[in-house]
Amino acid sequence: MSELKNDRFLRALLKEPVDVTPVWMMRQAGRYLPEYKATRAKAGSFMNLCMNPELACEVTIQPLERYPLDAAILFSDILTIPDAMGLQLRFAEGEGPIFDKPVRTAADVDALPVPDPEDSLKYVMDAVRTIRRELDGRVPLIGFSGSPWTLATYMVEGGTSKDFAKVKGMMFDRPDLMHKLLDTTAQSVISYLNAQVAAGAQALMIFDTWGGSLTPRDYKEFSLRYMQQIVAGLTREADGRKVPVILFTKGGGQWLEDMAATGCDGLGLDWTTDIGEARKRVGDKVALQGNMDPSVLYASPERIQKEVAAIMESYGKGSGHVFNLGHGIHQHVNPEHAGAFIEAVHKLSAPYHR
Ligand code: CP3
């Protein structure tokens, strides 16, 4: 494997000195890019794109060809694990993800396997290997997974939900069943992420998109506890380098101290938390990733620069900040505005590292 030419993303997550603040964007390979739409059309569907390692590699690298990003993220989806468990994932046009075989009963939960990542998820590992080869050390590659709770919401609801009626119904009425589902899923996530590291992922991120829908008590019992189990089970070093782990609970700003105590290296922040306040709360324990409101990218490049400057000033001097959006980039954003955002981070951050 070739030497990493740009390691500021990994260094910032470990709070080691950097020249400028590293930056990447959640969903950086996506529908706001015309070249993404062209490759997706060639693939025929989103899942075909995920399952074809050459095309998944192509779209992973597209944003890096346009912008001086400091990390690449595997192009895939968090719902690959439940699909490999037999739930039969499909994306209906305009409707989002659907599982034809959702998990509703004790028998459904008992039947869930822990998938072998080099078997039913081999297409993901092949994508990781292909991307690492094609990146040729340009920037580190981030592997990822959903959190057990977030995956459970899709598995039980059978798709996207507004009120989480079914999954919360199971959680409140059959906590034993919910814990069994979450435990099987956590075991699956551990083996999936460790396989991504073995295949070449250099950092890991866990997306807990729906942890913020829980009460503080339920968050700790049904979401955080399983992310903690995952962090404890992960391979933390590969090729003589640390493999940093980032936890991101959307809407989880009030639980940062508990999240930092899991032993992860970084916390993702959405835009509802002030990053300077967050830094005071977690101290030296973890790095922080975030947290510009993705809607700022609809504003002018001048306004985007001002927002970048304000977040940087709030974080303050020194390493430990990975600049990002507070959630995925929206599909109707002008790609030039994303470029202005990335350029502003590099240009405005140098004084904070002197
Ligand atoms: O960040 C990246 O660039 C990596 C790729 C990535 C995708 N999904 C690609 C994708 C990642 C990390 C995800 C994670 C994901 N998938 C989450 C957690 C995200 C978060 O930010 O909290 C969730 C909840 C999912 C499930 C999922 N996949 C949904 C709800 C959708 C949207 C469906 C729709 O029609 O809008 C997807 C599809 C999806 N995943 C797309 C992309 C680029 C768009 C699909 C397309 O091209 O049609």
pLDDT tens figures, 63-112: 999 999 999 999 999 999 999 999 999 998 888 999 999 999 999 999 99
Q: How many domains does the chain have?
A: 1
Residue 3, in any domain of the structure: no
- Of 140, 164, 119, the C-alpha closest to 3 is 140
pTM greater than the 0.75 cutoff:
yes
Task: Specify whether the CB–CB gap between 13 and 266 falls below 8 A.
Answer: yes
Q: Mean pLDDT across the stretch 227-236?
A: 98
Single-letter residue type at 334: N
27 is catalytic: yes
Ligand 1 binding residues, C-beta < 6 A:
26-31, 40, 46, 73, 75, 77-79, 96-97, 144, 160, 207, 209, 250, 327-328
- Catalytically annotated residue among 7, 70, 77, 126: 77
176 is catalytic: no
Helices 275-282 and 301-315 pack at an angle, to 10 degrees, of: 20
Ligand 1 centre and the CA of 76: distance in Å?
Answer: 8
- Of 248, 151, 221, the C-alpha closest to 192 is 151
**pLDDT value of position 36:** 98
303 is catalytic: no
Tell the residue nearest (CA) to atom 31 of ligand 1. 96
What is the span of the domain harbouring residue 82?
8-353
Residue 94 phi/psi, 5-degree rounding, is 80, -5
Ligand 1 centre and the CA of 29: distance in Å?
Answer: 10
Residue 58, in any domain of the structure: yes
**pLDDT value of position 94:** 80
What whole-number percentage of the chain has pLDDT above 70? 100
Task: Specify whether the CB–CB gap between 331 and 32 falls below 8 A.
Answer: yes
pLDDT 10s digits, 2-17:
789 999 999 999 999 9
pLDDT score of 51 more than 80: yes
pLDDT score of 274 more than 80: yes
User: Residue 277 — very low, low, confident or very high, per pLDDT cuts 50/70/90?
Assistant: very high
154 is catalytic: yes
Number of C-beta neighbours around residue 298 at 10 A: 14
User: Residue 1 — very low, low, confident or very high, per pLDDT cuts 50/70/90?
Assistant: low
pLDDT 10s digits, 280-323:
999 999 999 999 999 999 999 999 999 999 999 999 999 999 99
Q: Mean pLDDT across the stretch 184-210?
A: 98
Residue 93, in any domain of the structure: yes
**pLDDT value of position 2:** 73
Residue 95, in any domain of the structure: yes
pLDDT 10s digits, 156-187:
999 999 999 999 999 999 999 999 999 999 99
- Catalytically annotated residue among 31, 90, 104, 174: 31
**pLDDT value of position 38:** 98
Ligand 1 centre and the CA of 77: distance in Å?
Answer: 6
Q: What is the CATH number of the domain that holds 329?
A: 3.20.20.210
Residue 215, in any domain of the structure: yes
Residue 1, in any domain of the structure: no
Distance CA 100, CA 111 (A): 16
> Which residues touch 93 (CB under 8 Å, ≥6 apart)?
none
- Catalytically annotated residue among 32, 67, 154, 226: 154
Residue 71 phi/psi, 5-degree rounding, is -155, 155
